[in-house]
C-alpha cells in the first residue's frame, strides 16, 4: 500500500498522527521534514514528548522491541525513529511486524529505509502493514514547487528564473536544494528578492541527474535539457548502451499506448520507467507522431550498432541521436 508523501504530511500537520510510519527513499530533507512534522504535532497534542533516534545493530533489536512495548514512566509519549530496520531478522523481524500491526498506544514509531527495494521481505511486509511513504527526490515538475516552498521558509523571495537556475544546479534532491538555499540566505538580507545572479554567486552544488530525468526531457522535447542531462549521465559513468536502453523503453511505452485501445501500460519495472515518467505519458504522446516514433526506433537501432562498432566516439553518437530524436531530423 503506497501513501502519497504530500497527503500524509498534510494529515500530520493537522494533528492526525498514526502510531507507525514507514518512509522509504533517500531524500534526507524529506525524511527529516516528516519526522519534524510528527514531532511538532505530538508536542502540540501532549505538550511534551521524548524522542529516541536509533541506527540499531542486530544485537540491539530485542531491547528496542521491549522499549516500544513498555508504557513510559512519564505522561509524555516517546517517538522512536529507527533507521535501517533491516537488522531485524528472524524472530525480531516477526516481532517488529507484529508490533506494527498492534502498536503501543503510548508510543510512536517511524521506520526509515534509504534505498527502495520492494523485493526485500521486510520492506514489502511493512508496506502491506502500515503503508509505504516514498521519501525519494521528486522529479523536475514537482521540484519547482519544493524550491519555492524552501525559499519562503527561509524568508526569501525568488523569481521564476532564480528558481529554475537553482533547480538546474541542485534540483536532484530537496536536501541539496535546501542546503543551497541556506547558503544563499547567509549572503542576502532576510526578506529580499533572490535573482539569477544571487544563485550563481552563492550556490555551489552541481546536481546529479537520473535516467528518468533524461526520459522526461526527451519526452517533453526540451532540447536544452536533453543535451545537458545526457552529457552529465555519460560523464558520470553511465554506459551509452544503457542510455539507449532507457530511451528505447520510453518510446516503446509511448508506442504501446498509441496502439492500445484503453491506454494500457506495458508493465515495465520502475527500474526502467519511473512512475513520474508514466504519469506524463499523455503529454509525450501528443508531442511525437506515430511516424516519428517509427523513425526513432530505426535511429536507436542504428545508434546501438554504432556503439558496438566504436570504442571512442560516444559523444558524437549521443549528440547525433539527440538531435535527430528531439529536433525531428532523421
> Which residue ranges does the chain devote to CATH 1.10.8.60?
140-202
Give the CA distances from residue 67 to residues 23, 63, 83, 196, 210, in Å, rounded to whole numbers and listed in that order.
21, 6, 16, 51, 40
Nearest by Cα to 96 from 136, 146, 61, 57: 61
Is residue 157 within 8 Å of residue 150, measured between CB atoms?
no
As a whole-number percent, the residues of the chain with pLDDT over 90 amount to 40
| pLDDT at residue 40, as a whole number | 95
- The pLDDT tens digits of the residues spanning 201-242 come to 887 766 778 888 899 999 999 988 898 888 888 888 888 888
**Range list of H helices, 75-136:** 91-101, 121-130
Q: List phi, psi (to 5°) of 80.
A: -95, 125
CATH code of the region 140-202? 1.10.8.60
Q: What is the pLDDT of residue 280?
A: 87
Q: What confidence score (pLDDT) does residue 197 get? A: 84
Q: Mention every residue, 6+ apart, whose C-beta is less than 8 A from residue 189.
A: none
In terms of Cα–Cα distance, which of 176, 202, 203, 200 is closest to 187? 202
Of the candidate CATH numbers 3.40.50.150, 1.20.272.10, 3.20.20.80, 3.20.20.150, the domain formed by 211-326 belongs to 1.20.272.10
Residue 140 has pLDDT above 80, yes or no: no
Looking at the DSSP bridge assignments, the partners of residue 22 are 111
The boundaries of every CATH 3.40.50.300 domain in the chain are 2-134
b/e code 83-103 from CB counts within 10 Å (16+ = b): bebbbbeeebbebbbebbeeb
Where do the CATH 1.20.272.10 domains begin and end in the chain?
Answer: 211-326
Q: What does the alpha-carbon distance between residue 240 and residue 149 come to, in Å, rounded to a whole number?
A: 36
Q: Of 325, 125, 312, which Cα lies nearest the Cα of 214?
A: 325
- Evaluate whether 110 touches 9 at the Cβ level (below 8 Å): no
Sign of the dihedral through C-alpha 92, 93, 97, 98: negative
Residue entry with cell 523571495: 157
Q: Using DSSP, how many helices (H) and how many strands (E) does the chain show?
A: 16, 8
Distance CA 148, CA 159 (A): 9
Interatomic CA distance for residues 57 and 24, integer angstroms = 19
- In this structure, of 186-190, 193-197, 253-257, 308-312, the range with the lowest mean pLDDT score is 308-312
- Judge whether 123 and 113 are in contact, CB under 8 Å: yes
The stretch 36-52 carries a mean pLDDT of 93
- 261-301: per-residue pLDDT in tens? 665 555 555 557 777 788 889 999 999 999 999 999 999 99
Selecting from 3.40.50.720, 2.130.10.10, 3.90.1150.10, 3.40.50.300, what CATH number does the domain 2-134 have? Answer: 3.40.50.300
Amino acid at each position: 500500500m503506497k501513501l502519497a508523501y504530500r497527503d500524509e504530511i498534510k494529515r500530520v500537520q493537522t494533528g492526525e498522527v498514526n502510531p507507525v510510519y514507514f518512509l522509504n527513499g533517500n531524500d534526507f530533507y524529506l525524511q527529516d521534514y516528516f519526522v519534524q512534522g510528527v514531532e511538532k504535532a505530538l508536542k502540540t497534542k501532549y505538550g511534551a514528548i521524548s524522542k529516541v533516534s536509533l541506527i540499531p545493530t542486530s544485537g540491539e533489536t530485542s531491547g528496542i522491541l521491549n522499549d516500544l512495548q513498555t508504557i513510559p514512566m512519564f505522561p509524555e509519549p516517546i517517538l522512536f525513529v529507527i533507521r535501517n530496520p533491516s537488522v531485524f531478522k528472524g524472530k525480531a523481524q516477526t516481532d517488529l511486524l507484529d508490533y506494527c500491526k498492534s502498536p503501543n498506544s503510548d508510543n510512536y514509531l517511524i521506520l526509515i529505509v534509504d534505498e527502495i527495494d520492494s523485493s526485500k521481505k521486510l520492506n514489502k511486509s511493512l508496506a502491506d502493514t502500515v503503508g509505504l511513504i516514498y521519501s525519494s527526490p521528486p522529479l523536475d515538475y514537482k521540484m519547482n514547487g519544493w524550491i519555492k516552498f524552501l525559499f519562503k521558509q527561509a524568508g526569501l523571495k525568488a523569481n521564476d528564473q532564480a528558481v529554475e537556475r537553482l533547480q538546474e544546479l541542485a534540483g536532484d534532491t530537496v536536501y541539496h536544494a535546501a542546503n543551497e538555499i541556506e547558503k544563499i540566505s547567509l549572503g542576502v538580507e532576510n526578506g529580499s528578492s533572490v535573482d539569477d545572479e544571487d544563485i550563481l554567486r552563492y550556490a555551489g552544488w552541481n546536481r546529479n541527474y537520473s535516467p528518468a530525468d533524461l526520459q522526461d526531457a526527451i519526452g517533453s522535447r526540451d532540447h536544452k535539457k536533453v543535451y545537458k542531462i545526457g552529457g552529465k549521465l555519460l560523464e558520470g559513468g553511465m554506459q551509452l548502451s544503457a542510455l539507449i536502453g532507457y530511451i528505447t523503453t520510453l518510446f516503446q511505452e509511448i508506442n504501446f499506448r498509441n496502439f492500445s485501445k484503453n491506454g494500457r501500460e506495458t508493465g515495465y519495472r520502475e527500474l526502467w520507467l519511473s512512475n513520474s515518467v508514466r504519469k506524463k505519458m499523455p503529454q509525450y504522446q501528443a508531442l511525437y507522431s506515430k511516424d516519428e516514433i517509427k523513425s526513432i526506433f530505426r535511429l536507436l537501432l542504428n545508434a546501438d550498432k554504432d556503439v558496438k562498432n566504436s570504442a571512442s566516439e560516444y559523444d558524437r553518437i549521443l549528440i547525433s541521436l539527440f538531435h535527430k530524436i528531439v529536433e525531428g531530423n532523421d
